[in-house]
A and B are shown apart, each in its own frame.
Chain A
């Protein structure tokens, strides 16, 4: 429970990115932090691993506010996967690299 390697707050860059997004959105006034702790607590109670729970909580808050609907997120996530497949190793992955990208 106390090994040093488990002391870092993030295990992967996407967790840090997710954390930053959440704090930025709350800073911008999209939701009070009390709503955030409530949403995170509800997802953790469902038994998800910590950062998956965090992502699910943010997706739930954004969907409830009509900001990012699940279909929209899933479609864009797919585009990001396509972009990753189309990006050589060692190069930053950019959404424009997705084939047939419809993003402007």
Chain B
């Protein structure tokens, strides 16, 4: 049982839109298939820390249509940018976000 597991990384043909160090903004749209984009990060700006290649995109509507891999990035947000001046000092938040959730800032 434990020997298995199901890796969800997949090759993607497109070139990465973002590179480590790029400033990016999480999209502010709330289409239901973007539910792996946390609400508290929507519209906020962070910095790409790592690019992980392609990963299966979660999309319950994709059943029967094959997988839709998208490039995944670890994006780092400053606490004060997300929560405002009242944020706890020294807070850093990071999240793993698919390319389609991000725009250049």
Q: Which A residues are closer than 8 A to B by beta carbons?
A: 26-27, 31-35, 37-39, 41-42, 45, 61, 64-65
Contacts and interface: CB of A to CB of B under 8 A. Distances in A.
B22 interface: no
A84 B4 CA distance: 36
A78 to B, nearest CB: 28
A53 to B, nearest CB: 13
Contacts, number: 39
Contacts of B32: 42
A65 B36 CA distance: 21
Interface string B45-84: 0000000000111111011000100000000000000000
Interface residues of B, number: 15
B14 interface: no
Given A26-B6, A32-B6, A37 B60 contact: no
B4 A38 contact: no
Given A41-B35, A64-B63, A65-B63, A34 B4 contact: no
Contacts of A26: 6
Please provide the 6 A-B residue pairs with the shortest distance between their CB atoms, ordered closest to farther: A34-B58, A38-B58, A34-B56, A35-B60, A41-B35, A32-B56
